[in-house]
Amino acid sequence: MQNYNAKLKNDIRERSYLYALKIIKLIESLVQNRTNKIIGDQLLRSATSIGANIIEAQASPTKKDFTSFLNHALKSANESKFWLGLLRDSTQVSPEKINPLLKEAIEISNILASSILTIRGKRKF
C-alpha cells in the first residue's frame, strides 16, 4: 500500500507539471491581442498554481495544511477549466487544441477532489 501511495503522489505531481508545460506552450501559441493576453495570464497563473500547491501539500507538516494546499490546487484546476472553456468558446483557440487540456484539467480536478474527500474521511476505497 505504501508503494501505491508513493506512486499516486508522484503521478499527480508529474501530471500537474506536464499539464503546466502544455499550458505554457498553448499560451505561447496564442494570437497576440488584448483578450488573449488577459485570459492567457489568468490561465498561466491558475495552471501553474496546481503543481505548486501539490508540492507544498506534500511538504506540509500537518494534515490540516496538507488538505488546505490540496484545496488550493483543486480551486486552481477548476479555474483553469473555466479559462480553457472561455478560450475555446470564444473561438480564440480551436477545440482540437483545448479539449485535451480541458480533459486533463478535469481528471486532475477529480483526483484532487477524491484525495480531499478521502483525507477528510468522507470516502473510503
* pLDDT classification of 120: cutoffs 50, 70, 90: confident
pLDDT per position as a tens digit, 61-75: 999 999 999 999 999
Alpha carbon 11 to its chain's center: 13
Give residue 6's pLDDT. 57
- Which residues are CB-neighbours of 32 under 8 A, at least 6 positions away? none
Predicted TM-score of the model (pTM):
0.87
CATH number of the 2-119 domain: 1.20.1440.60
Give residue 92's pLDDT. 87
Give residue 125's pLDDT. 47
Plot region of 124 (φ>0 → left; ψ -120 to 50 → alpha; else → beta): beta
Give residue 123's pLDDT. 55
Give residue 121's pLDDT. 83
pLDDT per position as a tens digit, 5-54: 555 567 999 999 999 999 999 999 999 999 999 999 999 999 999 999 99
pLDDT per position as a tens digit, 82-104: 999 999 999 889 999 999 999 99
List of long-range contacts for 22-26, beta carbons under 8 Å, 24+ apart: 22/101, 22/104, 23/47, 23/48, 23/80, 23/101, 24/48, 26/93, 26/97, 26/98, 26/101
